C-alpha cells in the first residue's frame, strides 16, 4: 500500500523558536495534502489543505502566519510552526491524496513546546 511518511515523529523545542514538520508521499504523487491537529483523546481537526504549487487553504480560525504550509513538490509538504508557544503543543498529522481521491495518513508528529 501507499506510504506517507512524517518527520520528525517527535520534536521538543523552546518557546519562541520555529519548528518544521515534513510530510512525504513515498510511492505516489500527491495532488493534495492535508494537515490535521489532534489534542489528547480528541478528534482530528483539519487545519489546512495544500495543493502543489499553490497557496494553502486554511480552515477558519487557523492562523496562517503561525502555521506556514509549503507544498513545493508532488511528494512533499511542510508545516512550519513559527514562534511556537506551549499552547501549540499537539499531535500533527498529515494525509496525502492520490489523483483517484484515495487518502493515506502519515504516522503523525508530536510537538512539545517548553
Of 42 and 85, CB closest to another protein: 42
Neighbour-count burial for 70-106, b at 16+ CB within 10 Å, e otherwise? ebeebbbbbbebeebeeebbbbbbbbbbeeeeeebeb
Residue number with CB closer to another protein (38 or 70): 38
Instruction: State the residues that interact with another protein by CB under 8 A.
Output: 31-32, 34, 38, 41-46, 49, 51, 91, 93, 95, 97, 101, 103, 105, 107-108
User: What is the closest distance, in whole angstroms, from the C-beta atom of residue 114 to another protein in the complex?
Assistant: 21
Amino acid at each position: 500500500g501507499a506510504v506517507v511518511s512524517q518527520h520528525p515523529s517527535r520534536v521538543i523545542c523552546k518557546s519562541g523558536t520555529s519548528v518544521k514538520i515534513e510530510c512525504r508521499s513515498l510511492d505516489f504523487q500527491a495532488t493534495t495534502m492535508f494537515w490535521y491537529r489532534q489534542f489528547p483523546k480528541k478528534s482530528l481537526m483539519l487545519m489546512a489543505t495544500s495543493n502543489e504549487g499553490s497557496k494553502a487553504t486554511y480552515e477558519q480560525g487557523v492562523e496562517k502566519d503561525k502555521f506556514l504550509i509549503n507544498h513545493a513538490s508532488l511528494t512533499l509538504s511542510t508545516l512550519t510552526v513559527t514562534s511556537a508557544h506551549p499552547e501549540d503543543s499537539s499531535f500533527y498529522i498529515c494525509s496525502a491524496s492520490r489523483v483517484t481521491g484515495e487518502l493515506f495518513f502519515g504516522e503523525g508528529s508530536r510537538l512539545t513546546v517548553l
